[in-house]
Structure 1
């Protein structure tokens, strides 16, 4: 192992962006430029740096973030001036300069001659202004030793010369020959004469993320060298209608591919010959990607290795190969995987140029005004803009800066819905006279087989509605999982989630969340992430662990309804918190717990140490709440070998037939303790407000 590759194992603390998510680098309302910096209007470097928005100072993730070869990650031209260009001459002037620049491409630049590849120098960020930056008939070349380059948010297209497998015109969108520390992100690359991306001749420390690559004979080639040196991360790319090299990796020391979507659309003129190819001495890790309709989706040479984990193959045929040992990507950098089943929808909405990246002040203000108070209407009868709730969610722009209200007409919408993490500020609003008039319902369970044969949904994947975006709200509707346990006794895994949240600042007001086992999963985006949820004026219905998860969650002024099991028996648990240590868990306050069940048959909660994690410190507090006789006199119980007495379970001033005096089996908070366990303590400075 060479000296520089050994140094690459050291991580850069504090500099990683969240991996596995679209990069919400800024919002249209937070840009701080007063005027575009045209080439004739260059400000001082100090002024440009001080005023720079987040997209101008963004740094790469993946292998491009690793410190090596004398370069500390990949951050492009953030140390230099920001200039806006509109002509080929202007673009070439700043891209080839020795000084660092952030170069904003505003409008369409048509290359002359066709096939022109601008030779980019080190320390550059070339970024499209919103969705307006187009490079037509040419691209970019990064030669030996060029480093610290970011190419983002551009549409690079149409150098095709009419020959499908063109051997004469080497017109790529981006070509590297011996470059290092390069980040290619959020671009639309299509219809070029040769490949869309070529990473050649020992180019290394490269990350390619959130791009759409389409309509080309060759998508993405890597290698063409006898040396086994290249380190590359390829994640969250949508590669479709390309025949080969999706990608082809030749002699890569470390090739980490995850959460990509490879699609061969039926009925088109383009048919895939193969998908991902591991060649020569390549060591590849291929994770949580989705292959749709591809021929020979995963191919390897006898000398190469591929380790596959969690991939989905739908309608594929031919070779699908793996074998050998590879490497652990987390030895080099941190990253988070999205579920493979979610990848197509996530990438269709999140790849390619984004309006919030590279936006100038004028376009940002226009975007903000357009986004303000946006309402999308859903009606089953076709009288709205969309017939399904998911279709409306799909229409929400990625990284939207302002609230989008999905207004849902009365009716029963039998579908699963996901609000991905890159679509914050979404409200689901039922428009009926009652919360029962608008119902979103489905019947997946943990053990339900997925239709593509890739396994079962699992508990979290069974959710009828899954919310992964911050600042989500829902009002005046019902979210239900009507999985029939009695009719599916042969199925292993009856957990059936109605609503799963894995986000911060989730506000549920006037809703019904209904199911049996595991009805309401209140989660966080990660163990170390805060996820606050406030539920008020609502009903939560279930029987076993039906309010559970690691979120910091408040059920306030609501009714928790206990229901019998599928066979008519009464037994169950209201909460199953899996709270991380030093966080607050589940608080039930000012509410009622009741239902048509037998007396003394339900526990208030038990500690869920998810995955056997002993570091967790589950917490449920029930206070100022009316408890029916259904609650056991010893309301807390153990779970999976973990004692509730080792965690945090308590009551305070509850009333009703199910309430009882303090004892060693029924701890009560003192007045002083209760003063620190109010609703406001849980919300930690957040005041939920309907919007």
Structure 2
């Protein structure tokens, strides 16, 4: 196993140190990969800074997945939190807002296979404890504030045992990006041979006994403690008693409580027979920064001591953490800036990611796990592969992000082969999105029904059908023949909006159709040849409600084709069921057109004249863009009111294009 190293910061001038820290902050914001330690010599990237997956000891021996594979629920009250946390089955439990626990100081028991995560940075548990009983396994606690069970006058915690989190003989626990403050005894107590624990990016504040590990004569606990901020605390920062392996790195200890206690005011303590390794941490104004019992071992390297007094023990060989796992090691000089900014609850962490197939066997199973009435984005991360199954996102499950995780959209394909013979457009669609606020990225959607090989009356075979509002497709591909992509709405007079960007769409007959307001920007549309010399098909078949001024906009894109010159239509007006109020509106602008496009590119459909529809072009170019009498051109003045923003704005000022 190899790792990325960087030179020590010692010897750099103040300007270069600042530049280095700023660069590290930028890398953190972008989620850059790689690691650095105090040694010299280059080597490849090893690990990302943070992800939704645990690192360190919690990642070993089968790993820690929490409630992955279970339902996602959002709780706002104590009864719901207690019920789901103690359930036998796995749950991903999102805590929204502050939950006040009664009676004061009471436990919320957390059973195995649970993820408890704060929504955004607002999730709080007030004057209550999360408690993991002996035998509890596979728990993730992230992005929460747990606060205020302190009993006035009990600074030493002698009369209460109101910890923020307490566990006894638990295993595989990841505690990440939380804020612990002002509790009744310890902030975090990891006790009695608990194993495979990682504690990362937390804040420990305003307290006496911050973080204790041990209360056992056995030497079993393996724990990783990194990028935590201890401020306004007195002792146990942490205290590690009889740990088999305690790896502490990139922690920041500052503003220690100064009450004159010569012994029980300290930073890190390796106690009993603990083997402790401390790397690249930062101690500012700390009494006894790190110390070890004579029976323990402590190795320290690369840390910075500023305004410190007292013990800095180091003896024995302890262990090499890299024998167990890869990790990113930041320079100690960067730690105060990194940890103060990125520890504690983070808005960007408060979402939930459901992984397919690691946690859910199918995409549909992950969709089903999303709660009805979902108000917080849930990401369904789909690993590279071909998934031959239909997917339906019902209207009751909004705010889903469907994300392919491969290098290219072609790496992750959702495909099926149903034609419209079996259930019309709805029944044939490989993927159907009825919910609002759904985004799909880096994916391919396909219907590989072979219309040439099978004799059926209906040859429609949709790759995608949407009826929801505020649907976004980024870096996606839609593969099919007839009716590949249908963007629709629940009923004629309801306006739904769809934004397609940096994508690829292919087909032959009416392969972009429906009544939704749809913008296709910076994309490639391929008009497939059906072998005809004169008529190979129609790109669009809009059915825009006559009361909606905005139907389809294709802009800043390229239409390509393998069809003969002059054999493809730009579109025709679709009036479903002969509906006279469905009057197609299509504008194709600033787009390159191939020679396959006809000189008269619009045509009639089912007795409805194309001349009664709202078909126009503006500033198109390429061999198929020659202006003729049968090609209405939009004026400059009208074009200024037919931009991407105009099509998508609606009454809520929706602007997904503005994110780019």
Please, what TM-score do these two structures have when normalized by structure 2?
Answer: 0.46
Highest CA radius of gyration, 1 or 2?
2
